[in-house]
Amino acid sequence: MMDQALLDLALDIASAITFTVGGAFVLIGAFGLVRLPDVWSRIHAAGVIDTVGAELILLGMMFQTGLTQTTLKLALIGLFLFVTGPTATHAVANASFVAGLRPVRLRRNETADVLGEQPRKEMQP
């Protein structure tokens, strides 16, 4: 039974590490969401929360449950966030791009290379 206690201790330590790192990323991301200057840079702060923070915290929870149905559900939540997160982020970025918002202090702009020179079709109802 000594091995079991050691395994539990190792899993607890693994959970503590992933929780600390994941929680730190979540807090940094939330702080960045308040601190960064415009919507374009804030998207990246939200990306830190949505990907690294969320997945690490879910991973830490998975260490605590062992091989049960709960682990499977946590994995499903993680997979779902992994797949839908970038779609939602892209939707926000694309919507603000179409609405005409541009980043502040833009260093390099190759929009014309992608969209061509013609003005974009107006999206009116």
Partner 1 sequence: MTKAVGLLVALFALWLALSGYFKPFLLSLGVLSCLFTVYLASRMKLLDDEAVPLQLRLSLPLYWSWLGGEIFKSAVAVSKVILSRDMQLNQQLIAVPSPLKTDMGHVIFANSITLTPGTVTVEAVPGKFLVHALTEEASAAEGFQEIARRVAAVETR
Partner 2 sequence: MVMFLAITAALFVAVLLVLVRLFVGPTLYDRVLAVNTFGTLTVLILSSLGFVTERPDFLDIAMLYALINFVSTIAILKFFRYRTFGRTTASQEEA
Cα separation of 109 and 46, whole Å? 23
Q: Is 121 left (phi over 0), alpha (psi -120 to 50) or beta?
A: beta
Cα separation of 54 and 86, whole Å? 13
Q: Is 111 in the site for partner 1 (CB under 8 A)?
A: yes
Cα separation of 31 and 3, whole Å? 42
From partner 2, partner 1, none, which one binds at residue 52 (CB under 5 to 8 Å depending on kind)?
Answer: partner 1
Collapse the DSSP code of 66 into the 3-class scheme (helix H, G, I; strand E, B; otherwise coil) and give the result.
Answer: coil
Nearest in space to 78 (alpha carbons), one of 90, 92, 65: 65
From partner 2, partner 1, none, which one binds at residue 10 (CB under 5 to 8 Å depending on kind)?
Answer: none
Name the residue nearer to partner 2 (CB basis): 70 or 111. Answer: 70
Name the residue nearer to partner 1 (CB basis): 7 or 70. Answer: 70
Identity of residue 26: V
Build a one-symbol-per-residue string for 1-20: x at contacts with partner 2 by CB under 8 A, - elsewhere: -----------x--xx--x-
Sites of contact with partner 2 (CB under 8 A):
12, 15-16, 19, 22-23, 26-27, 29-31, 33-34, 39, 42-43, 46, 49-50, 54, 57-58, 60-61, 64, 70, 73-74, 76-77, 80-81, 84-85, 87-89, 91-92, 95-96, 98-99, 101, 123, 125
